[in-house]
Structure 1
Amino acid sequence: MQERNTNLTIDNLSSSALACRRKVAWRLLPFLFAAYIVAYLDRANVSFANVYMSADLHFSPAVYGFGAGVFFLGYFLLEIPGALIVERWSARLWISRILVTWGLCTAIVAFVHTGVQFFSARFLLGCAEAGFFPGVMVYLTHWFTERDRARAAAAFVIAAPVSLAIGAPLSAAILHAPWPALAPWRWLFIIQGLPAVILGVFAVRRLTDHPRTADWLTGDEKRWLIEELGQESASREPGQPPAWWRSLLTRNVLLLAAAHFMANVAGYSFIFWLPANLREATRLSPVLADMAPALPFSAAVVALWLAARSSDKTGERKAHACIPMLAAALGIMLAALPNLPGGLVLGVITLTGGAVFAWIPGFWVLPTLSLSRDAAAASIGFINAVGNLGGFLGPFVTGVLRSQGYTRMASAMVIAIAYAGAATLTWLVAAPRRVEQSQAPASRTPGNL
């Protein structure tokens, strides 16, 4: 009789765990996914507007490249404070504030007339959006155990290529439609800024800061989740630096920050210059050239999700970050070879798009595996802040090279070297032992992550 009662208790616990994981995933991830779609489109829609805006305002490639990248200087300023605010105060209110202000700042870009105004508007947009990505990565540690975290991160981060895959045809439709009073590229920023404001208002009702305040979980589900997360947190505490800021000086965090810098030099050069490069390399019509970026970003959706599932299934993180980086370096070099048929270039760039995003889930699990909560939150903010300086440098350097008359191969070499450096630095990170296969969740459905 005692054995049967024990089995019943274990069965109930297992049932509560599965139900809890399912509820948390469906409660939080769809909203965060939608918010990041809007966030990524609002930072990258300038790439779709580039040709038309630059023609109207007489911007050189260097001016456009600086304006596209200066977003990340503003983003840099609030990365660490934003992550710590989520950890110590309220993710719900902070994310809501971010959404509303970045939506308004996106619309402001529609009214620029000079280079200085363009730089200022993009800088303000970066300040407004700062803290969102590291804040969400910290927020996920409040709700998902280590075994589920890469796929939870992937369910959020996959919104980036989805937003660009959707954004390409959507932006093409806006840019080629007749609009009153303002040029179509100006309407692009106004229309795509509004959803962030709407989601910001909705975030206050949808998000919950911690499991202990989640009235949509049962008592058993709350207890299971709080205990699981508490045990993981306790296992990381011994031997950790007593203050969160000291974690920023540890070898692993510095390596990850440098790797993220290099990866963003490459990745944002690829993203911000993709429409212009495709137009030049494939000689497609303006409408098709504006829609073509949907292909590599659609490939990225599939590659990112498969990489995250594989990383969680095996418990391996570093190789799942390094291999896509090296694949992206190779693909970008191949696509820049001279005299290739336009169709072949488009095919290579499509496959390369998958690699450009596939490294992200495995990479962002690494700083959460061996640090206390405050240290992990500060480290994620620091890594993303330093990395986003690469998001400024990459597009700017590409713009300068184009202004000086260099070919696409020159910028491709910069991107490839940056990806190779990012892979090398990531490989040098001392990662903890793999999560055992038996600990991985049996179910692979989205509801169970």
Structure 2
Amino acid sequence: METTLQAGAKVSSYEDAVYRKVSWRLVPFLMLCFLIAYLDRVNVGFAKLQMSQDLGFSETVYGLGAGIFFIGYFLFEIPSNLALHRFGAKVWIGRIMVTWGLLSACFVFVETPTAFYTLRFLLGLAEAGFTPGIVYYLSCWYPSHRRAKIMAIYCMGSPLSGIIGNPLSGFLMGSMGGIAGWAGWQWMFFIEAVPAVLLGLACFYYLDSSIAKAKWLSDDEKQVLERAKAEDNKAAGPEARVGKVFTDPRVWLISLICFCYVTGQYGITLWLPTFIKSTGVSDPVQIGLLSAIPYIAAIVTMYFFAKSADKHRERRWHLIVPCMMGALGFLALPWIMHSTALSLVFLSIAAAGILTCSPLFWSLPTAFLSGAAAATAIAMSNSIGNLAGFTSGYMIGYLRDVTQSGSSAYYMIAGMLVLGAFAIWTLPAKLVNR
């Protein structure tokens, strides 16, 4: 008996070592890709501080332009993820990054609302499939009980883009205006697009499309990973046909959950500079530094919630609590916007809760689906969820124009987060807690 336990411990220790090797190889690079992806997606929130005034854009025009990105994202996301499943990660993710980097640089030439809408729509088309593609790619390497922590580390690219990108954006806009005849916001778009193209080219050489093709793994290490993957797929059940995903009520439920928390996510990421400015701060550099604070809070919260979820193999309450944190933060904002310090406290609570939802959420679809069906479910839930980027961006802009206040928009976001928490509560625990 003792010998058996010792052998089991040795196997577990060796498996842990193999997964550490995989994590050091894949996760920092993918997190960096996500950081750049998120920066290019939401830096329009910083550009708004100057671009709207320079080009005469109203709050509604900005909100529609910020949100229309997600229409293109929605239309092409499922085809994009199926293409990744067919052609391999390094080819498809590399293609996505190069394309969106080039399009992001083209925002330098925006002069009219039509050009703004068109480029945001095309950027959504180009980036479609990136996040669900990475989620599916990581699910091919990690079993479900290791995935929440890994997804949390990967998703730290989002708050890191705020910590690094917001001060950088504020600096570029505040210091480079007038150079070569370009405004500060034009230089920001151009400079921040370059890393996406370079990282996209690196994907073709750095990423492996499968465990079997990873030359940096020994045969024994590959067997450990393949065995863990096979056991996880067995627990998820037989691979479903792709067509059945669209009629599976579980997939529609998790799509609703994604829609609700993403409403809050883009309420934070697209409008955070505007929220801080409305408390009385006007300097772009200062706004950039202050807006990094909520993202620092998010990084700490994401890590500890994900670590706890993996340790206890529990998903529902680890998602419900962050959703309610986000709702609390937004409910408080209308009452304390007179104070920059208090606003930052509750924006930090909101950001910590909302951004923590993402890595925990992505363990749901792969808990009960595998293979191409899992890739489709991930893409479907993310595409429907990211429509919230459109509705959230447009509705916040519209409500701010109509009411000349952000209060109604804050209440709308809080209500969606409460709805999301209720939807999570209806998930059967045995479906997702493994």
Q: State the TM-score, normalizing by the size of structure 1.
A: 0.92
Question: Corresponding residue for 1:439?
Answer: none
Matched, 1:46 2:44: yes
Is the 8 Å Cα contact of residues 171 and 284 (structure 2) preserved in structure 1?
A: no
| Residue 8 of structure 1, CA deviation | 8.4
Q: Work out the CA distance in 1 between the residues paired with 2:175 and 2:68.
A: 29
- Equivalent in the alignment of 1:234: 234
Match of residue 189 from structure 2: 189
Distance 1:342 1:7, change over 3 A: closer
Following the alignment from structure 2 to structure 1, what is the Cα–Cα distance between the partners of residues 379 and 304? 26
Residues 272 and 297 of structure 1: is their aligned pair in 2 closer, same or farther, counting only changes over 3 Å? same
Q: Deviations over 1:393-430 (max 9, x none)?
A: 10100111111134221111111111111111122122
Q: Judge conservation of contact 1:82–1:134 (CA < 8 Å) in 2.
A: no
CA distance in 1 between partners of 2:6 and 2:412 (Å): 60
Offset, 1:323: 1.0
For residues 1-400 of structure 1, what are the structure 2 equivalents within 5 Å? 13-178=11-176, 179-238=179-238, 241=240, 243-283=241-281, 285-337=283-335, 340-400=338-398
Sort the Cα spacing of 1:218 and 1:345 in 2 relative to 1 into closer, same or farther, 3 A. same
Contact 2:81 2:376 in 1 (8 A): yes
Q: CA 1:285–1:366 in structure 2 vs 1: closer, same or farther (change >3 Å)?
A: same
Name stretches of at least 5 consecutive residues in structure 2 with no aligned partner: none
2-structure distance, mates of 1:20, 1:54: 51
Alignment match of 1:423 (pick from 416, 421, 427)? 421
C-alpha displacement at 1:11, in angstroms? 6.4
Q: Which moved more, 1:56-65 or 1:425-434?
A: 425-434
The aligned residue for residue 443 of structure 1 is none
Distance 1:426 1:129 in 2: 28
Q: 1:198 to 1:286 in 2, by over 3 A?
A: closer
Displacement of 1:235: 3.0
Question: Residue 75 of structure 1 contacts residue 388 of structure 1 at CA under 8 Å; is this kept in 2?
Answer: yes
Q: Deviations over 1:243-281 (max 9, x none)?
A: 112122212111111121122222212221111111112
Q: CA deviation at 1:385?
A: 0.5
Instruction: Give a deviation string over 1:128-178, Cα, whole Å, max 9, x none.
Output: 111000000000111111121011111111110111111111011100113
What CA deviation, in whole Å up to 9, does each residue of 1:75-133 have, x standing for no partner? 11221122222333301100010110010011011111000000001111111111000
Structure-2 residue corresponding to 1:442: none
Task: Write the distance in 1 (CA, Å) between the matches of 2:395 and 2:431.
Answer: 39
Q: Please give the root-mean-square deviation of Cα atoms over the aligned residues, in Å.
A: 2.0
Instruction: Kindly indicate whether the alpha-carbon contact (under 8 Å) linking 1:264 and 1:391 is maintained by their aligned counterparts in 2.
Output: yes
- The one-letter amino acid paired with 1:133 is T
Q: What CA deviation, in whole Å up to 9, does each residue of 1:327-384 have, x standing for no partner?
A: 1111111122156433212222122221121112221101111113221110000000
Q: Is the 8 A contact 1:16 1:220 kept in 2?
A: no
Task: Report % sequence identity.
Answer: 37
> Matches of 1:235 and 1:318 in 2, distance apart?
19
Q: What amino acid maps onto 1:399 in structure 2?
A: G
Q: 1:339 to 1:121 in 2, by over 3 A?
A: closer
| Alignment CA distance shift 1:104-1:417 (3 Å) | same
Distance 1:349 1:230, change over 3 A: same
Q: Any gaps of 5 or more consecutive residues in structure 1?
A: 437-449
**Stretch of structure 1 that moved more, 10-19 or 109-118:** 10-19
Match of 1:444 in 2: none
Is the CA contact (8 Å cut-off) linking 2:98 and 2:201 kept in structure 1? yes
| One-letter amino acid of the structure 2 residue matched with residue 211 of structure 1 | I
Task: Check whether the contact 2:149–2:306 (CA below 8 A) recurs between aligned residues.
Answer: yes
- Give the length in aligned residue pairs: 432
Distance in 2, matches of 1:362 and 1:338, equals 30
**Distance of aligned partners of 1:124 and 1:339 in 2 relative to their CA distance in 1, 3 Å threshold:** closer
3-state SS of paired residue (2:430): coil
Question: Separation in 1 of the partners of 2:327 and 2:85?
Answer: 35
**Partner SS for 2:261:** helix
Residue identity opposite 1:346 in structure 2: L
User: After the TM superposition, which parts of structure 1 deviate over 6 Å for at least 4 consecutive aligned residues?
Assistant: 6-9
